[in-house]
Structure 1
Amino acid sequence: MSFQTFTASADPSQGPARLQALREKLRLEGLDGFIIPRADAHQGENVAPRDDRLQWLTGFTGSAGFCIVLPDVAGVFIDGRYRTQVKTQVDLAHFTPVPWPDIKPGPWIAEHLPQGRIGFDPWLHTPDEIAAIEATLAGPAVTLCPSANMVDAIWPDQPAPHLGRAFIHPDALAGKTSAQKRADLGAQLQKAGQTAAIITLPDSLCWLLNIRGTDVPRTPVLHGFAILFADGHVNLFTAPEKLDGATRAHLGDQVTISAPAAFVPTLRSLQGPVRVDRATAPLAVSLELEEPVWGDDPCRLPKACKTGAEIAGARAAHLRDGAAMVEFLCWLEAQAPSGKLTEIDVVRQLEAYRRATNQLHDLSFETICGAGEHGAIMHYRVTDESNRPVTPGELLLVDSGAQYRDGTTDITRTMAIGPLPQGGAEAYTRVLQGMISLSRARWPKGLAGRDLDPLARYPLWLAGMDFNHGTGHGVGAFLSVHEGPQRISKMSEEPLQPGMIVSNEPGYYREGAFGIRLENLIVVTPAAKLADDRDQLCFETLTFVPFDRRLIDLAMLAPGERDWLNAYHAEVAAKIMPLVSAPAAEWLKKACAPL
């Protein structure tokens, strides 16, 4: 467990020299370019310091993106969440921000490199990623070439791999034993005529074996690879020193533990059709197999559809977390009008309230706390250099979450600090209307996140507004705060199924002025049958924290929206009031009074 730190995690001034060294290395290797993703061999969102090559080279600290270095240009590809942030973190004289996916890497490469060889590390890219780039390259003049990692070759003080201990995740919290999971998935492989499946995602590995780890910040996963055989046996490849006697006993004799160096030789020895997920596994894996067949990671969907025990754990975790949030909001309302608080003060106090529960394992991600114009930087992370006061007359956006042994939380609230900025109440109310619309949704089975995404945007669209991020992401059970395959997004084709937990987080960002985001976690559940007796689904809300009534324009709310909000606040008061201090209970009573 580690406290949040605030020092700048990269020095952009080092970027030009490192870029020059990389280009010189490429020249010596006969390459004209190299692709540097923010990824490790496990494709996890959080990467260990050793694997944060994108940040080391460019200075960009966002959770997604990649850089393509060519002889005369180095493009840093970032999505809509980071288009403001990247401008402050890279040397713009040497690195060029590229809006992605608006501009795709293939056409961009073709524009800047008429012919040549571009290297990439096949352990850091999936087959789908490479195929997508190759499909959009203009002709055969430019080729992508698997190679050793060129950034590692010029990184003299690259950190060593982390060797944190794994630990047991109790069956009572998982709702199913590892043996049951392995038997079920093995039977699926047998039915498909496959001898084995390769597991490369850390959260899949941990879910399958009912273990957790400490190999990356904020996400309790173990780094390793696994081969799941059709008879339910698993070969786990990880540093043996990560597993103590208790964890080895928990894994049992049907899980063989091997050193990471044995992974590639074992892949080469496998017989028969072996399943590989081309969307998540490194390309290097399929290159080593004699008979790879493409198929989904067998763990991803059952992991996403939570058991009854996991949903019960999520409910308990959210009540605990909601109480900590209410204590924090009570404190904030009393202290913020003085103008003496800074963003770092806010982050530290919120973490202190979560630690006071005595059940916090870790944060689920670095807290996003943006005051005023910083709120418009969607994934802003305060540092000692960027820290600024929380000033009356501004909005304060706080997006945070926690890892408890029984569940993972993620919540965003935006608060008024003193007088409202111009346009703040209207924008806030439209964002709230979008959240309410998605919360109230019910739909026929089979619809995907892309089908529901417009519900959260429509109130903003009516005013010509929108937001450049997905409406919701999947959330794990004491695992990754961003979990696939489910999400609420224009791009999501995965049907929503009972037990899937997703976030509901519309927003609005006015660059240079303020940002607004509101976020609850919700779980897909069967809906009560109505007139036509159709099978439908709906959402159960897991998060119970009030909204800032000072920012709600009541005249904009329809009767149904007001009814939902009053019912939600009444439930917040009933569930959270017994869990908080007397001052916080008094504050909560006022915050949840009917509108």
Structure 2
Amino acid sequence: MVNQLVTDLPQNRLAALRAELDRMGVDGFIIPRGDEYLGEYVPPSSERLSWLTGFTGSAGLAIVLADRAAVFTDGRYTTQLAQQTDPALWERRHVTEEPPAGWLKQHAAGRRIGYDPWLHPQAALDRLAASGATLVPLPANPIDAVWTDRPEPPTAPAEPWPDLFAGRSAAEKREMIAQELREAGEEAVVLADAHSVAWLLNMRGGDLDHTPLALAFALLRSDASVTVFMEPAKAGPVLREALGNAVSIEPRSALPTALAALRGRKVRLDPEATPAWFAHTLAEAGAEVAKGADPVRLPRACKTEAEQNGARAAHHRDARAMIRFLHWFAEEAPKGGLTELAAGERLLAFRAAEDRFRAESFPAITGAGEHGAIIHYRATDATNRPVKPDEAFLIDSGAQYLDGTTDITRTLWTGPAEPPAELRTRYTLVLRGLIALAATRFPEGVAGPHLDAIARRPLWEAGLDYDHGTGHGVGAFLSVHEGPAAFSRNAANVPLREGMILSDEPGFYLPGSYGIRIENLLLVRADPQAAGPKRWLGFETLTLVPFERALIDAATLGAAERAWIDAYHARILVEVGPTLDGPAAAWLRTACAPL
């Protein structure tokens, strides 16, 4: 056991890991952000990347060699990465511009590089193997050997999610996916994504702070029976009754035996979403591994009518909380005295007062001034900054309601003076991009990457851009970030389908000065005006919160854009206005007046 005092400092943690790697006989180690469920959000016990490097972003990977080490992340976190890691210990790399495989090829070709087979999907390992390094699966994670005060894994109870909100029973879902397996000639599928397990079984839990998951694996067979692998103590009598006799619950330690029983059977694995350990274990057991997409991902993304109605109801409640916050902020911000953390806490209080609220869907991003330019900034006690008069303030937040998940970003002007012309011009370009995407009609078969540029065009015409995708999928009382569809040039070519919910969030960021991002959620709907032979789709805007009028340069808007904004604000007044009273209602009438 390594002395805890030795690993209190970043350089000592890195040195302790290198000593452990030397003991294990490897020349390096790859540390991903995710846990064994390969999720974006992980419990404290799986925050290995953060513990080792200091980087707390939700997307990243580190590689440690005996003589050098690097951390990789995407454009959302490059500024944060530079702030949170020591350049004397870590090279900072953009994961797209300088992929890990390229770095390995340059610095570790021919060397033995260890990895934890529970933390990497096989597809990711195949990409890394192209570096020429020899990838070595390790029997235990070396970080766990030197992380002396590692938290215990979560043990929150799992609970049923009512069919009333799901719109389809777990038995119906199991049979639907089992039918797909039968048609493919497959006898089982491993579901390693805890979101897929949650959707399939109408099961939720509290293992993560902001995503209502019970972390679990599952084995679904072609006869629609399921074995769930999680600690049985997490499943109380109410859940067991809801799951029924066709669903059994076993501890994770039972996985090797369950997989060994599949000898000679054809078993589907998603190589992008299943830890490599499963493929290795099934191959050793003599099973036939069939590579294929997780059969739950697409139906999970296409919300049922009940889930769509739940999303609308959740967004109405969320709009009321946000409008009360915006009214409060408009009165308090010009006075000074606010802080980033105080603003986030006040918004949380407004949301917590709403019916069916369960938690924030992610920690609120409250970036004042230059902090707004850090795309996924998170205020802490160490960074908490005053919210000053006459500056931009970016707040990106969301909530988990029992019937839906929300995500919204607004960029505000604190006042009392008029904002500078440059800020108004750029805010309006971002707003025009949001409107352009929200108003798009498109033929069936179009995918997210085809639409990403629509939101960027106003910025591109001005020689500006943003270094993140335009939008991500959103779950139904599940993760605020959900695949498989997204608005991004790097997204999978997955055609958009009715019932999908995605964010529309273009932005612009001037490091050291301000950040602008505006975000609404969109529901994919059939276009009722389509008259041609092709089937056409469009979007219904779910988010019902006014934009920052002080930052809109109305003179630069086209007639259609002005009409869209006026119609959107009028809709807010009709749908949300009657649920407010007093000063907040009066503020809303002013905020939603025609331009």
TM-score grouping bracket, smaller chain normalisation: over 0.9
C-alpha distance in structure 1 between counterparts of 2:97 and 2:123, whole Å? 18
Kindly report which structure 2 residues correspond to 1:171-210, keeping only aligned pairs within 5 A, or say none. 171-210=163-202
Compute the displacement of 1:276 (Å): 0.4
1:69 paired residue number: 64
Deviations 1:65-87 (A, max 9, x none): 01000122110101000010111
2:98 paired residue number: 103
Kindly report which structure 2 residues correspond to 1:193-272, keeping only aligned pairs within 5 A, or say none. 193-271=185-263, 272=265
2:562 paired residue number: 562
1:506 paired residue number: 506
Give the number of equivalent residue pairs: 581
Compute the displacement of 1:172 (Å): 0.9
Which amino acid counterpart does residue 520 of structure 2 have in structure 1?
A: N
1:145 paired residue number: 136
Compute the displacement of 1:531 (Å): 4.5
Which amino acid counterpart does residue 62 of structure 1 have in structure 2?
A: G
SS at match of 1:208: helix
Contact 1:395 1:421 in 2 (8 A): no
Deviations 1:443-488 (A, max 9, x none): 0110100000000000000111100110000000000000010111
C-alpha distance in structure 2 between counterparts of 1:194 and 1:533, whole Å? 36
What is the alpha-carbon root mean square deviation over aligned residues? 1.2
Kindly report which structure 2 residues correspond to 1:327-476, keeping only aligned pairs within 5 A, or say none. 327-418=324-415, 419=417, 420-421=419-420, 423-476=422-475
Deviations 1:244-265 (A, max 9, x none): 1111110110001111100122
2:525 paired residue number: 525
Which residue of the other structure, out of 30, 42, 45, is the alignment partner of 1:50? Answer: 45
2:316 paired residue number: 319
1:579 paired residue number: 579
Deviations 1:134-156 (A, max 9, x none): 12x1x4xx211111211111111
SS at match of 1:84: helix
Q: Which runs of 5+ in 2 are unaligned?
A: 1-6
Contact 2:301 2:483 in 1 (8 A): yes
Compute the displacement of 1:93 (Å): 1.1
Q: Which runs of 5+ in 1 are unaligned?
A: 1-11
Contact 1:394 1:421 in 2 (8 A): no
SS at match of 1:281: coil
C-alpha distance in structure 2 between counterparts of 1:490 and 1:530, whole Å? 27
Compute the displacement of 1:13 (Å): 7.4
Which amino acid counterpart does residue 35 of structure 2 have in structure 1?
A: D
1:9 paired residue number: none
Which residue of the other structure, out of 25, 30, 34, is the alignment partner of 1:39? Answer: 34
Compute the displacement of 1:91 (Å): 1.3
Deviations 1:51-109 (A, max 9, x none): 00000000000001010001221101010000101111111211111111111111111
Contact 2:410 2:517 in 1 (8 A): yes
Which amino acid counterpart does residue 90 of structure 1 have in structure 2?
A: T
Compute the displacement of 1:215 (Å): 0.8
Matched, 1:294 2:291: yes
Which piece of structure 1 moves more, 413-422 or 462-471?
413-422
C-alpha distance in structure 1 between counterparts of 2:473 and 2:510, whole Å? 26
1:4 paired residue number: none
Instruction: Provide runs of 4+ in structure 1 moved above 6 Å.
Output: none
Which amino acid counterpart does residue 486 of structure 2 have in structure 1?
A: R
2:121 paired residue number: 126
Which amino acid counterpart does residue 299 of structure 1 have in structure 2?
A: V
Contact 2:336 2:387 in 1 (8 A): yes
Compute the displacement of 1:391 (Å): 0.7
SS at match of 1:76: strand
Matched, 1:591 2:591: yes
Which residue of the other structure, out of 278, 284, 301, is the alignment partner of 2:277? Answer: 284
C-alpha distance in structure 2 between counterparts of 1:542 and 1:121, whole Å? 41
Which amino acid counterpart does residue 385 of structure 2 have in structure 1?
A: R
Which piece of structure 1 moves more, 501-510 or 103-112?
103-112
C-alpha distance in structure 1 between counterparts of 2:14 and 2:448, whole Å? 40
Residues 1:500 and 1:161: Cα distance change in structure 2 (over 3 Å): same
Matched, 1:170 2:169: no
Residues 1:13 and 1:589: Cα distance change in structure 2 (over 3 Å): farther
Contact 2:449 2:488 in 1 (8 A): yes
Compute the displacement of 1:14 (Å): 2.2
C-alpha distance in structure 2 between counterparts of 1:13 and 1:431, whole Å? 43
Kindly report which structure 2 residues correspond to 1:153-164, keeping only aligned pairs within 5 A, or say none. 153-164=145-156
Contact 2:216 2:229 in 1 (8 A): yes
Contact 1:393 1:421 in 2 (8 A): no
Residues 1:390 and 1:118: Cα distance change in structure 2 (over 3 Å): same
Taking structure 1 as the reference length, the TM-score comes to 0.96
Which piece of structure 1 moves more, 394-403 or 145-154?
145-154
1:7 paired residue number: none
Taking structure 2 as the reference length, the TM-score comes to 0.96
Deviations 1:221-243 (A, max 9, x none): 11111000001000111101111
SS at match of 1:446: coil
Contact 2:334 2:390 in 1 (8 A): no
Deviations 1:540-563 (A, max 9, x none): 000000001110111110100001
Which piece of structure 1 moves more, 322-331 or 67-76?
67-76
C-alpha distance in structure 2 between counterparts of 1:17 and 1:480, whole Å? 35
Which residue of the other structure, out of 2, 11, 18, is the alignment partner of 1:16? Answer: 11
SS at match of 2:576: helix
Compute the displacement of 1:291 (Å): 1.3
Residues 1:299 and 1:531: Cα distance change in structure 2 (over 3 Å): closer
C-alpha distance in structure 2 between counterparts of 1:209 and 1:534, whole Å? 35
Compute the displacement of 1:112 (Å): 1.9
SS at match of 2:379: coil
1:479 paired residue number: 478
C-alpha distance in structure 2 between counterparts of 1:358 and 1:443, whole Å? 36
Deviations 1:13-71 (A, max 9, x none): 72111001111111111111100011111011110111000000000000010100012
1:550 paired residue number: 550
C-alpha distance in structure 2 between counterparts of 1:173 and 1:130, whole Å? 38
C-alpha distance in structure 2 between counterparts of 1:494 and 1:69, whole Å? 35
Contact 2:356 2:403 in 1 (8 A): no
SS at match of 1:275: strand
SS at match of 1:106: helix
C-alpha distance in structure 2 between counterparts of 1:14 and 1:430, whole Å? 45
C-alpha distance in structure 2 between counterparts of 1:143 and 1:82, whole Å? 29
Compute the displacement of 1:358 (Å): 3.9
Deviations 1:484-503 (A, max 9, x none): 10111102211100000000
